[in-house]
Amino acid sequence: MSRFTFDRRRRALLLGLPYLLAGCAFPGTGLVGWAKSDAESFAAERQRRTPQPQSRARDGMAAPECFGRLLEVYRRDETVPLYVQSQKISDSTGLSHPLVGAELPTDLTDMLITSVSRIGRKTVYIPNDLDFRKNYTRAGAPLSVRVPKVLIGGSITEFDRAISSTARGADAGVSFGKGKGKSEGSVGEKGAYTISRLTIDLNLADVASNTMVPGVYAANSMKVINETAEGNFDFAIFGNGLGFNSINRYLQGRHDAIRLLVDFSVVQLLGRYLAVPYWRCLPESQADASVIERIERSYLANARSLRVKWIQSTLRDYGYALPQSGVYDAATRAALEATVRSLAIRRPLSLDDGKLFAELYVRIPVSA
């Protein structure tokens, strides 16, 4: 190849550089278009590989709605809903401040209100808005005040950034031109994987007595994944650098994680207060020993006839049309034996066994 031909190709490459770079400046073209496509495919891949917070809800059902279905069964005979109010649920870590990047939301109260409302008609949220009441009262409008039964308080109490982090990288390079640096190329790849942890604490106060409800609380944590993959390629010809760099970042939605934590914590808090098996609505959750113990104690505190009524009422939810007579007759015993056998409960039939009743109670069928 003649020097004239080589120089002409070099000039053509240099003259074409502005057009190549110009193509990078417009969305949908050049490197910007590649980056957009890479980002979308990268996020889709990570979503397939990493369970999203919301995907953990059992059978696709959100926890508050599932809890509402539980209450329709376990509080069927309650005609008055549980009236709930809350204090401001805020960030106690300080990381919601703009000076530190506002990594967390400042106020979670709206999320909590939404969670309580999603449970359904068995729980009713009462707004804690004094200005609203004052304005209506001044205008002469009639306004009845509903007193809440319980008051929810709490906050984001922990945000541990990068409790676990790993990174790896590799690169390689090559040079042409007899060491004169006329043509150089390099390629590299880096990856990082970081796990952070969020914690929310909620507690419950009884409004009438102005005291905290003992043993009723929710303190739940969730891990959030931040994954980064970086690849670069660059090539230099005659000192004029052409480069391509790709950085993909996948961050599980921190705000989605907080919303899910609020949902789970509200369900746990109210489930403990009402002594119902709320864990059936929380994926991968174990039975709550404190709730089961309360069920056992409440059952054993009854006289014999009332214990029989509780068993007859529970067996009704298993499909047995038994009169709630309080008499332990042959029909009641037969229904109890059949239910215990179908659930594979290995306990003797005894009206004095609180654990037997608790096992029957927490496994009452609930429609999906």
DSSP conformation letters of 39-69: HHHHHHHHHHHS--GGGGSGGG--HHHHHHH
Average pLDDT of the residues in 138-165: 78
Q: Which two tokens stand for residue 131?
A: 């200005």
Same domain, residue pair 260 and 338: no
In a domain, 146, yes or no: yes
User: Could you tell me which residue, 181 or 85, shows the higher pLDDT?
Assistant: 85
Residue 227 has pLDDT above 80, yes or no: no
Q: Which two tokens stand for residue 327?
A: 């008499």
Flag the least confident range among 11-15, 105-109, 111-115, 337-341.
11-15
In a domain, 99, yes or no: yes
Rg (CA), the chain: 31
What's the rounded Cα separation, in Å, for the pair 127 and 114?
A: 12
**Domain end: 227, 248, 279, which one?**
279
Same domain, residue pair 191 and 153: yes
Under a CB-based contact definition with an 8 Å cutoff, are residues 149 and 83 in contact?
yes
Same domain, residue pair 155 and 233: yes
In a domain, 41, yes or no: no
Average pLDDT of the residues in 117-143: 79
pLDDT-based confidence at 242, cuts 50/70/90? very low
Residue 189 has pLDDT above 90, yes or no: no
What count of other Cβ atoms lies within 10 Å of the Cβ of residue 15? 9
User: Could you tell me which residue, 227 or 70, shows the higher pLDDT?
Assistant: 70
pLDDT of residue 283: 81
Same domain, residue pair 254 and 321: no
Domain count, the chain: 2
pLDDT-based confidence at 218, cuts 50/70/90? very high
Distance of CA 219 to the CA centre of its chain: 13
Under a CB-based contact definition with an 8 Å cutoff, are residues 271 and 220 in contact?
no
Beta carbons within 8 Å of 275's beta carbon, 6+ residues apart: 291, 294, 295, 298
Same domain, residue pair 236 and 315: no
What's the rounded Cα separation, in Å, for the pair 201 and 53?
A: 18
pLDDT-based confidence at 154, cuts 50/70/90? very high
Flag the least confident range among 47-61, 69-83, 292-306, 333-347.
47-61
Average pLDDT of the residues in 208-236: 76
**Domain end: 247, 279, 311, which one?**
279
pLDDT of residue 261: 86
Flag the least confident range among 52-56, 100-104, 207-211, 273-277.
52-56
Please name which of 250, 242, 292 lies closest in space to residue 271, comparing C-alpha atoms. 292
pLDDT of residue 158: 83
User: Could you tell me which residue, 335 or 172, shows the higher pLDDT?
Assistant: 335
Same domain, residue pair 152 and 180: yes
- Indicate the average pLDDT of the chain: 76
SS3 118: helix
Amino acid at 193: Y
Please name which of 293, 295, 265, 259 lies closest in space to residue 279, comparing C-alpha atoms. 265
Under a CB-based contact definition with an 8 Å cutoff, are residues 133 and 143 in contact?
yes
Strand partners, 188: 171, 232
Beta carbons within 8 Å of 196's beta carbon, 6+ residues apart: 159, 160, 161, 162, 163, 223, 224, 226
Q: At what angle do helices 304-317 and 330-342 cross, to 10 degrees?
A: 50
Task: Encode pLDDT of 28-60 as tens digits.
Answer: 444 445 444 554 565 556 556 555 444 443 333
Percent of the chain's residues with pLDDT above 90: 45
User: Could you tell me which residue, 349 or 235, shows the higher pLDDT?
Assistant: 349
In a domain, 352, yes or no: yes
Same domain, residue pair 231 and 304: no
pLDDT of residue 98: 66
Q: Find the CATH number of the domain harbouring 198.
A: 3.40.50.10610
Same domain, residue pair 259 and 311: no
In a domain, 87, yes or no: yes
- Classify burial at 24, counting beta carbons within 10 Å of its beta carbon; exposed 0-12, middle 13-18, buried 19 or more: middle
In a domain, 196, yes or no: yes
What's the rounded Cα separation, in Å, for the pair 75 and 71?
A: 5
Same domain, residue pair 137 and 271: yes
Same domain, residue pair 263 and 314: no
Task: Encode pLDDT of 291-325 as tens digits.
Answer: 999 999 999 999 999 999 999 999 999 999 999 99
In a domain, 6, yes or no: no
pLDDT of residue 123: 96
User: The domain containing residue 352 runs over which residues?
Assistant: 287-368
Flag the least confident range among 34-43, 163-172, 196-205.
34-43
Average pLDDT of the residues in 213-233: 75
Average pLDDT of the residues in 126-143: 70
Under a CB-based contact definition with an 8 Å cutoff, are residues 78 and 70 in contact?
no
Signed CA dihedral, 235, 241, 244, 249: sign only: positive
Same domain, residue pair 203 and 268: yes
Same domain, residue pair 65 and 111: yes
pLDDT of residue 94: 78
**Domain end: 279, 311, 346, which one?**
279
Strand partners, 203: 153, 217
What's the rounded Cα separation, in Å, for the pair 337 and 88?
A: 50
pLDDT of residue 333: 95
Length of the chain: 368
In a domain, 29, yes or no: no
Under a CB-based contact definition with an 8 Å cutoff, are residues 210 and 179 in contact?
no
Flag the least confident range among 5-19, 38-52, 204-218, 301-315.
5-19
